[in-house]
Amino acid sequence: MNINVGILGLGTVGGGAFQILERNAALIEKRAGCPIAVTRIATRTPSRAARWGADTAIVSDDVEAVLNDPDIHIVAEMIGGVEPARDYVLRALQNGKSVVSANKELIAKHGPQLRAVAEQNGVDLLFEGSVGGGIPLIKPLRESLAGNEICELMGIVNGTTNFILSKMTAEKSDFGAVLSEAQQLGYAEADPSADVDGFDAAYKLAILAGIAFDTPVDIDDIAREGIRGVSARDIEYATELGFVIKLIALGRLSDGGALQLRVHPTLLPKNHPLANVSDAFNAVFVRGDAVGDVMFYGRGAGDGPTGSAVVGDIIEAAKNKCRGVRNLDHAPQSKRAMHPFAAIETRFCVRMQVGDKPGTIAQIAGVFGDAGVSIESIVQKHSDGDVAEIFWLTHTTTQSAMNAAMAQFEQLEVVREVSSVLRVEGE
């Protein structure tokens, strides 16, 4: 049986996947057990298809021709965004085609529903390319680790913010300067919000957590904080105390079975496996009840890496088509209880500007104590005589206790400004 693939979208990912399918066709045929050919490509700009080496005869801007071609077995959706991608994916599934998607926003927002439609139609919906570029994540989580209850998942899943934080650390620069540089280099978008405000990481966490903890996840279930508030000073103190700062996407099962999901800048001990993941690399750290700690590491984006994930999924869907089966993928039915954000327990770092006079530290420490927050260490390094900067590292406490302390500091004259509040994980 020959397997025919229709491609929707010929940007970086679509072009990358197409090139791999062409270049490695012989090897892929051997591994899939059948020849796999791209027979149609729909793209908004057919004139640019030549750059990927695509035969112009199979390229057009006609999506319908792909969705309705009865000879196409697998549709690879690499358009991005929710609409019209969602409509295309739905119709491809309903037409009996397996679908491979690298679209994180679509899968994060509509994954469970689309997986149910795939199941009803007896076809596959695979989305390895939607998280972590070429790093095998979804399949190992779903299959290799299937014997485990996953207790925790912690990842660096956004290359742009990891690049910015790595550069801020290496060059002791502030966020704004490094962002501008990243934008000039093309590592950050003109509107950087999707990356630096943590939306992209939240989409990826929704997908990974949905698989790892077998539950539908709403984007609003994820507490989200970006890296705009991280300054060179925070990194300076963190380094001094033996930590690095990373934008971490975290999912964790509480003892009672409730799930906490959050994306925020996080201090990690510098010997943590994620601490050395720099620049545009991604990595996901998983803790299972049997396997213990495992980590997956690699390039989180790009035509080759993400194309590799898409082609891996295409090969899987092709093998299934040839044998008349589909992957066992039951869309999760019941939703896990969510752990309230105020109840999360973690250590905090608080950097604040205070009036530099006797009794200040005692007064602030009193507020922390009254709120039930106990302090592990205090660093005071910078002072202009009038205002001093203090960096507090707390023992484990709850978010609500920290919130209570923060509310008090707003009333406290000696606290001129709370400059940042960061969390510590991975100890």
The residues that touch its own copies, with contacts defined as CB under 8 A, are 16, 20-21, 23-24, 27-28, 30-33, 128, 133-136, 139-140, 142-149, 214, 271, 273, 276, 288-299, 302, 304-305, 307-309, 311-312, 314-316, 319, 323, 325, 328, 330
**How many CB atoms are closer than 10 A to CB 135?**
24
Considering beta carbons, is residue 90 or 315 the nearer one to its own copies? 315
Considering beta carbons, is residue 57 or 290 the nearer one to its own copies? 290
The catalytic position among 104, 109, 204, 321 is 204
CB of 416 to its own copies, least distance (A): 40
CB of 138 to its own copies, least distance (A): 9
Considering beta carbons, is residue 314 or 364 the nearer one to its own copies? 314
**Residue 281 φ/ψ, nearest 5 degrees:** -75, 150
Count Cβ atoms within 10 A of the Cβ of residue 138 and give its class: 0-12 exposed, 13-18 middle, 19 or more buried.
buried
**Residue 102 φ/ψ, nearest 5 degrees:** -110, 25
Considering beta carbons, is residue 281 or 348 the nearer one to its own copies? 281
The Cα-based distances of 84 to 26, 36, 91, 126 in angstroms read 34, 26, 11, 18
> Using CA atoms, how far apart are residues 265 and 204, in angstroms rounded to an integer?
16
Q: Where does residue 133 fall: left (phi above 0), alpha (psi -120 to 50 degrees), or beta otherwise?
A: left
Considering beta carbons, is residue 112 or 136 the nearer one to its own copies? 136
The Cα-based distances of 348 to 168, 231, 424 in angstroms read 21, 16, 6
The answer to whether residue 204 is catalytic is: yes
CB of 375 to its own copies, least distance (A): 31
List of residues 6+ apart from 105 with CB closer than 8 A:
80, 81, 82, 203
Structure tokens at 170: 């290496």
CB of 292 to its own copies, least distance (A): 5
> Using CA atoms, how far apart are residues 191 and 67, in angstroms rounded to an integer?
33
CB of 163 to its own copies, least distance (A): 16
> What residues are labeled active site?
204
